[in-house]
A and B are shown apart, each in its own frame.
Chain A
Amino acid sequence: MAIITMRQAISDALWEEMERDPKVFIMGQEVGVWGGTYAVTKGFLDHFGEKRVRDTPIAESAIVGAGIGASMVGLRPVSEIMTINFAFVAMDYIVNEAPKMHTMFGGQMSVPLVIRTAGGGGRQLGATHSQTPDAIFAHFPGLKVVSPGTPADAKGLLKAAIRDNDPVLFIEHAAMYQIRGEVPEGDYTTPIGVSKVQREGDAVTIVTYCKGLQLSMAAAEQLSAEGIEVEIVDLRSLRPLDMGPALESFKKTNRAVIVEEGWPSYGVGAEVATRLYEAAFDYADAPIKRVAQKEVPLPYNAALEQFALPQVDDVVAAVKEVL
């Protein structure tokens, strides 16, 4: 296994899928000449040409809308929204068009579209550019929402998303492109809608995804030094949501902490906690805790921003609280 960055893993997935299937193409702002806002598609234009690496106007509705149309007639577009904060101006397409087409016309059409985007805070970009609104997208039946926490999963999930026959929102984290991890050699996919135990333990179950996985892994190391072994379940997909491993783990540890970067209200943690209670209330030895972002639009000031974002220490503290 090679150790590569998240950026490289995502780039490799796109590259390999474009090599594999001529119907796969990418479109979005600055994906071509610029090489990708986060340098994910550097070199793509030279290799694949303008037909398959399409710079677009700053028109998110058209980027996703045209992706939907092209996918309906047989192509496999990857529409890129520079950051998830700009997805709101394409909201109709993401939540009200793509997820409806297949069912609303009685199965006649399908939308094998991937919408790639990057979210997350912590880069001092202020309130409009720092959000983690994943949960609102996961609210809509018909849309698949994935958000990987490791380079290996990013590569496998992106390949799976491109090959999937339904619309998939693929959420990366803008502050995670440099993280490194082992990635299997050769072609592989990671199934959508399957969560995974990323670390085994018996004291407390941590359920998390994306950036939350990083925080949780770091917290696990600190806790391990104190003799507390947490089990970490990475959801990887928010819809379809696979609760299997989280439930199994909760039944074993009887305690759970849910870690997400977004706001807690109506969030991923709220959903997961409810499902744990609904399915395994009798197993709970302590109230389930959520670690999430404080409920404010994120400030610019670096210290203040970090104070509002969930930190490793918050995870450590939450685990100790439920013990």
Chain B
Amino acid sequence: MALKKKDHLELYRQMVLIRRVEERSAELYQAGKIGGFLHLYIGQEAVSTGIVSVRQPQDRIITAYRDHGVALNVGISAKAVIAELLGKETGVSKGRGGSMHMADVEKNFWGGHAIVGAHLPIAAGMALGDQYEGRDGVTICMFGDGATNIGFFHEGVNLSKVWNLPVLWLCENNQYGMGTAVDRASAVEQIHMKAEGYGIPHSRLEDGMDIMKVREAVGAALDHIRSGKGPYFLEVMTYRFQGHSMGDPQRYREKDEVTKWEKSDPIGIYHRYIVGDKIAAKADLDKIEEAVEVEVNEAIEFAEASPDPGFDTLYDYMYASKE
């Protein structure tokens, strides 16, 4: 599917939006306005933006706790994302979920899951739901490199092949699980090779910083699954520029390593691509950046002005049955 100028500008906008929301969230966290854990997506923007841009509306998406990127990509407003970070009633999960638990079921985004690897069997079940009902959606399940070492991963991936479920296992290999490098935690460094043991076709995208390459790889994987051939496993190499979460002293990696990777900033790469290929002018991109700035400012104002959930709502959503 060839992209038009306006499509490129929209993808660029999304990546910049994620970057700004994350930068401003870090400030809000430092100011004590965001509580709990805050895992930033800075550096990985090309991955979620690429994935969401090639999925069809019927394709479900589910991810781990580093979920602000997907949330914004699927079209949850910056207002609802930041309000959730601030724990407000107007947040996308009504202030019940926080940073790690954002979802918008109407946009086929199923969260935001904070127990490492636990959402893989759940994703398999969602794919089973589509297979059972004869719907042609694919469930795209994103998870980190660290998640491939927990038992849930193996149970979920195995089941997906046993039942030939329409699921895309998408490992975002940002090379660390908290402070533990992949080679210190995983028996194989080529994580996609784990799929070999389950008879699932697999590949690795070495350059997950380039959104065009992400789109191509994910598109091909989705085609494979949509043609009825069962699950596919795609590993995408990427890097997080910030700490694992706020307040991470990052003793586990050299500053040089981060600096080296920052040269492959996915937003910079895309900027050069768009301007270099004369898809759009630098001025067009400047305009987008300015508009995003305004949007995020407004979102923060909105979130700060929003009410906290009332104490009288504490037991709302305890059970689905009563509603």
Contacts and interface: CB of A to CB of B under 8 A. Distances in A.
A187 B159 CA distance: 35
A2 interface: no
Interface of B: 60, 91-97, 101, 103-105, 110-112, 115, 118, 120-130, 132-133, 151-152, 155-156, 158-159, 162-163, 316-321, 323
Given A96-B115, A164-B321, A69 B121 contact: yes
Nearest to A103: B317
15 contacts: A59-B158, A61-B152, A62-B121, A62-B155, A62-B159, A65-B120, A66-B156, A69-B122, A72-B110, A72-B122, A74-B133, A105-B96, A109-B105, A109-B111, A142-B319
A109 B151 CA distance: 25
Contacts of A65: 118, 120-122, 124-125, 152, 155-156
A107 B323 contact: yes
Given A59-B158, A69-B126, A93 B121 contact: yes
Contacts of B103: 105, 108-109
A141 interface: yes
B105 A108 contact: yes
Contacts of A93: 118, 121
A108 B104 contact: yes
Contacts of B132: 25, 51, 70, 75
A58 to B, nearest CB: 9
A74 B105 CA distance: 12
A69 B96 contact: no
A67 B320 contact: no
Given A62-B156, A73-B130, A97-B118, 14 more contacts: A57-B155, A61-B155, A62-B121, A62-B152, A65-B118, A68-B125, A69-B128, A74-B133, A92-B118, A104-B101, A105-B111, A106-B97, A107-B320, A165-B319
A74 B110 CA distance: 13
A77 B118 CA distance: 18
Contacts of A30: none
Nearest to A67: B125
Contacts of B126: 69-70, 72-73
Contacts of B156: 61-62, 65-66
A122 interface: no
Given A56-B159, A57-B155, A59-B158, A69 B124 contact: yes
B146 to A, nearest CB: 16
Scoring A66, A142, A166 by chain B CB atoms within 10 A of each residue's CB, the highest score goes to: A66
A71 interface: yes
Interface string A82-110: 00000000001100110000111111111
Contacts of A67: 125
B93 A66 contact: no
Nearest to B157: A62
Contacts of B101: 104-105
A103 B318 contact: yes
A112 interface: yes
B94 A70 contact: no
Given A73-B60, A74-B129, A104 B158 contact: no
Query: Considering the complex of A and B, which 5 residue pairs feature the smallest CB-CB distances, nearest first?
Result: A69-B125, A65-B121, A106-B94, A66-B125, A110-B320
B57 to A, nearest CB: 14
Given A57-B158, A59-B155, A109 B110 contact: yes
B159 A70 contact: no
Nearest to A60: B155
A106 B159 contact: no
B121 A112 contact: no
Given A51-B132, A108-B103, A68 B122 contact: yes
Contacts of B125: 65-73, 77
A6 B321 CA distance: 27
A32 to B, nearest CB: 13
Contacts of A144: 319
Given A25-B132, A107-B323, A66 B318 contact: no
Nearest to B323: A107
A57 B323 CA distance: 36
Contacts of B123: 69
Given A51-B132, A109-B103, A142 B318 contact: yes
B319 A102 contact: yes
B104 to A, nearest CB: 7
Contacts of B155: 57, 59, 61-62, 65
A108 B96 CA distance: 11
A75 B129 contact: yes
